[in-house]
Amino acid sequence: MRVLRRLLTVLLLALCAACSGGGGSAEDGKGAASGPGRAGTAHPPSGTGREAGFPDANTTGPRVPLTPHDTGDMAIRTDGTVIKGWDITGSLDIYANDVTIVDTRITSANWWGINLRPGYRGLKVLHSTITAVPGNGPDNGGVDYAVSNMSTSAVEVGWCDISVFGNALSMGQGHIHDNYVHDLVPFRNAGGEWQHTDAVISGGSNKGRLIIRHNTLLNPVAVGQGASASIGLFSDTGPVSNTVVDGNLLAGGAYTLYGGGKDATGITVTNNVFSTRYHRNGGGYGAVTAWNADGSGNVWRGNRFTDGTPVTPAPAG
């Protein structure tokens, strides 16, 4: 009997150990329930390992419950307007100073989600989600800008979750920080050509400073469908100057970064991580192009691929 009892005890202990070890616990990370932003959901984290710690769906977007507002395409004309806690179906066209959009969701079918008109200043877009429905936009089904700055004053965009638009953040001056830009959607414009897509785009001739710091800027669009850049500093309307690109996670595009071209000055590109999640060289053709190493005030330092390999730009062509 003693031998039988011993045998039963050993079997019971073995069974208990198997039950406690197989499923894991919340503390050891095994068997934990999936939540928003976990792998396998529509919005996975921005990355693991060397890509960890950058903005993602868990650190951006509204922090409060939202109330539906079917505004359509609305113009704001009162200085100091604050919109908070709205779930907007429509777009916002800003003809006023010191407007703040915070803890809000915008689903636009217009050319933009939010647009600051010339001559106005002080726009802040914080802790918000700005998106669209693919195929429902005015540009042959596409939508062009999540936030557009047509003014010569700075716009702040921070802690926002931005998706779908062709050129997500379009501005020559402003403070773009802690945002998650992802899932840009390709489309052919009204002329039948593929719309160029960029997570951030600047056209040159900026009148103030542009700071792009600690964002996740992803451009998954195929090169053959119009992918341009993660950050595109282009000299379309004049020389690019006075721009900071620091501490971002960048991925995709034809080139991940367009560096301003041969006349660019005062551009500092520091401590950015170039992800290879879409292309083995960051972008379809490479990590960076159009970098003017000899431009006054231009600095390239501490930029690397996710495996730690330094990113070294070729001379501007």
Please give the structure tokens belonging to residue 273. 């991580």
> According to the model, what pLDDT value does residue 34 have?
26
> According to the model, what pLDDT value does residue 33 have?
27
| pLDDT surpasses 60 at 241 | yes
Closest to 185 in 3D by CA, of 216, 225, 157:
225
Give the pLDDT confidence of 96-112 residue by residue, as tens digits: 999 999 999 999 999 99
Residue 244 identity: V
Give the pLDDT confidence of 275-313 residue by residue, as tens digits: 999 999 999 999 999 999 999 999 999 999 999 999 999
Integer-rounded Cα Rg, in Å, for the chain is: 23
Closest to 232 in 3D by CA, of 307, 157, 181:
181
DSSP letter for each residue of 127-186: S-EEEE-TT-BTBTBB--EEEEE-SSS-EEEES-EEEE-SEEEE-SSEEEES-EEEEE--
Q: Output the average pLDDT for the chain.
A: 86
pTM of the model: 0.84
| pLDDT surpasses 80 at 192 | yes
